[in-house]
Amino acid sequence: MDNGLSRRTFLGVLGTTGFGAGLGSSAFGADKGAHLPGKAGKAAMTSRGSGRSPVRLAGGKVIQPQRELPVFRETDVLVVGGGPSGVAAAVAARRTGAKVTLVERYGCFGGLWTGGLVLKLPGVCYGKKQVTMGLCEEILQKLDKMDNAVIERNPGEQPTTDAEATKYVLSEMIREAGVDVYLHSWGVDAIMDGNVVKGAVFESKTGRFAVLAKMVIDASGDGDIFSIAGAPYEHRKHGVGLVCRIGNMDKIDQTKAKQAKKPPRGIGLPTPIPDINWVNMGGPESDCVDINDLTRLEMDHRRQIWRQMDKLRKTPGYEKVYLVEVASQLGVRISRVLTGMKQVTFKGAKAGQKFSDVIGVGGELNPGDPFFEIPFGALVPRKVENILAVGRCASAGPVIMEPMRCIPCSLVTGHAAGVASALAVQNGCLCRDVEIPKLQKHLREQGAYLG
C-alpha cells in the first residue's frame, strides 16, 4: 500500500501530534456509504422517555417486571459474536445466500485476534503445508496487500498479523458481504420455542432488544446463548492472561544489554510493525465466566505489566523500550465447551481418526503435533435445535482443545457453520439434518481444505 505515507510513519505522526488532533476533519470523516442497521436523524436529538419498565425492589427482593421486547430484526441466520469464528460464519452464510445479522459486544471485529492482541496464527500449517484455507487464506491474502499488516507467510510458518489492519479487513469483508450488523450489543438470552432456538436477546445502550432468526450461531466464545438454551456443555478453567505490545525494540543498546546479569524476560515476538513486539501472558487458571475472577485478573494483570515494564527499562540497554498498548480484552482461553454430537479428541487425532462429516482440519502448534479432522457434529448440540457452536466452544477434548481454540480452527468452524446454517434455511430443515455432501461441496467451492 503506497500512498505516500507508510503506516509506520503515520503512527509516528500520531504519536507526535496526539490522537485528538485533527480527528474531526473530513480526512477522518464517516463513510456515508457505510452499511448500517439504521441512520440517526434530527429525531435522535429529541428528549423523550425510554419506555422501559424499571426493576422494582419489593419485600427485599429485586423483581424484573414482565415486558414485551422490541424486535429489531428478523433474519435467516443470526451470528452472536464478531470474533474470527463469528465473522467467518456471517460472511460464509451471506455468500451462500442467507440473510444474515451479526451482533458483537465490542466496537470492532476480530475478538481476541484484534481486541485481545493475540496476533499469531498457530495451526495454519501442518509441516510445510498450509491446511487452514478458505476464509482464513482470503483474509491473509488481503493483509498481504497492505503495508505492515502481516509477516511470516512462508511455507510452514505461523503468520503474525497487525491488529488494526485485521480489524479493517474484517470490517470491509462484512460490509462487502452485505451482513446486517449491530455493535456494542451483548447477547444475554436465548429465545426458545420448545427445544428450538428462535433468536436471541441483546442488551445495549438503546435498551434490551430481540433478533428473531431461523438459525443461530453461537460465536460468543463462552457459549452464552447455547448454555442458556439448555444445550449440555462442560465448564472448564484455563489460564487467563492479558497481552500487550512494547516499542523501540530497534533502540535496544546491544552492547549495554550484554552487561545484564540475566537476559530480560517478557520482550515478546516481532509484529508486522517494525520495532514493536507483542508480549503474551499465560496467567493463572481461572473461571472465565465469573465476574469476580475477571475483575481481579484485569486489574492484577495491568499492574503486573507496568511493573514488568519498569523492571525492563531499568535493565542495561533497554532504557528506551516503552509500553505501546495493553489489550482491551482479557485473554480468555476456555470457559464453556459444547457437548456435541461428536467430539474431537487427542487420542483420535493420534490414531488418525477420520470423520464422514469432516468440515476442516487442524494444523500443528508444535512440530510433532497430530493432524486432525474436525467433524460437523462437533458444532451440533445433542438436544437443542437450530443453534451451532463455533470457535473455542466447539466440542473437543481438553488436550486437542489447545489447537482447536486458536484463530485458524475458529475460522474453520465458523466458515462451516455459516454455510450449514444457510443450507438449512434454504432446505427448510433442522441444521443437524443438512446434507453433508452438499455442505462439503459448498465449503470446497469457497476454498476450504477438508484433507
Query: Do 366 and 258 belong together in one domain?
Result: no
Position 112 in a domain: yes
Query: Do 204 and 293 belong together in one domain?
Result: no
Query: Do 115 and 208 belong together in one domain?
Result: yes
Position 53 in a domain: no
Position 420 in a domain: yes
- Between 20 and 148, the more confident residue is 148
Position 290 in a domain: yes
What is the rounded (10 degree) CA torsion for 166, 200, 224, 162?
A: 0
Position 433 in a domain: yes
Residues with Cβ within 8 Å of 442's Cβ and at least 6 positions away in sequence, in order, are 96, 419, 423
Going by DSSP bridges, is the β-strand pair 244-247/196-203 parallel, antiparallel, or unpaired?
Answer: unpaired
Query: Do 300 and 378 belong together in one domain?
Result: no
Position 9 in a domain: no
Quickly state the pLDDT bin for 261 (edges 50, 70, 90): confident
- Give which of 407, 336, 384, 53 is closest to 200, Cα–Cα: 384
Angle between helices 135-144 and 84-95 (to 10 degrees): 100
- CA triple 6-11-13, angle to 5 deg: 95
Query: Do 125 and 192 belong together in one domain?
Result: yes
- Decide if 78 contacts 200 (C-beta within 8 A): yes
**Which of 304, 326, 348 is the last residue before a domain boundary?**
326
Helix (H, G, I), strand (E, B) or coil at 313: helix
Query: Do 97 and 201 belong together in one domain?
Result: yes
- Between 52 and 369, the more confident residue is 369
Alpha-carbon separation of residue 433 from 101, 142, 436 (angstroms): 22, 34, 8
Query: Do 178 and 314 belong together in one domain?
Result: no
The pTM assigned to this predicted structure is 0.89
Query: Do 351 and 307 belong together in one domain?
Result: no
Q: Which domain, by its residues, includes 121?
A: 71-235+335-445
Query: Do 208 and 153 belong together in one domain?
Result: yes
Query: Do 298 and 373 belong together in one domain?
Result: no
Region 225-232 average pLDDT = 98
**Which of 278, 308, 326 is the last residue before a domain boundary?**
326
Helix (H, G, I), strand (E, B) or coil at 147: coil
Residues with Cβ within 8 Å of 182's Cβ and at least 6 positions away in sequence, in order, are 37, 72, 101, 102, 103, 104, 202, 204, 211
Region 88-111 average pLDDT = 98
- Cα dihedral 10, 87, 325, 245 sign: negative
CATH number (domain holding residue 186): 3.50.50.60
C-alpha cell at 46: 429529541
Whether pLDDT at 21 is above 80: no
- For the chain, how big is the Rg over CA atoms in Å? 23
306 vs 301: CA distance, rounded Å: 9
Query: Do 201 and 247 belong together in one domain?
Result: no
φ, ψ (nearest 5 deg) of residue 330: -60, 150
- Between 46 and 249, the more confident residue is 249
**Which of 302, 326, 350 is the last residue before a domain boundary?**
326
- Between 10 and 122, the more confident residue is 122
Query: Do 217 and 300 belong together in one domain?
Result: no
Interval 304-355: pLDDT, tens:
999 999 999 999 999 999 999 999 999 999 999 999 999 999 999 999 999 9
179 vs 184: CA distance, rounded Å: 16
Give the count of beta carbons closer than 10 Å to the beta carbon of residue 390: 32
Quickly state the pLDDT bin for 9 (edges 50, 70, 90): very low
Position 43 in a domain: no
Quickly state the pLDDT bin for 40 (edges 50, 70, 90): very low
Quickly state the pLDDT bin for 258 (edges 50, 70, 90): confident
Position 35 in a domain: no
Q: How many domains does the chain have?
A: 2
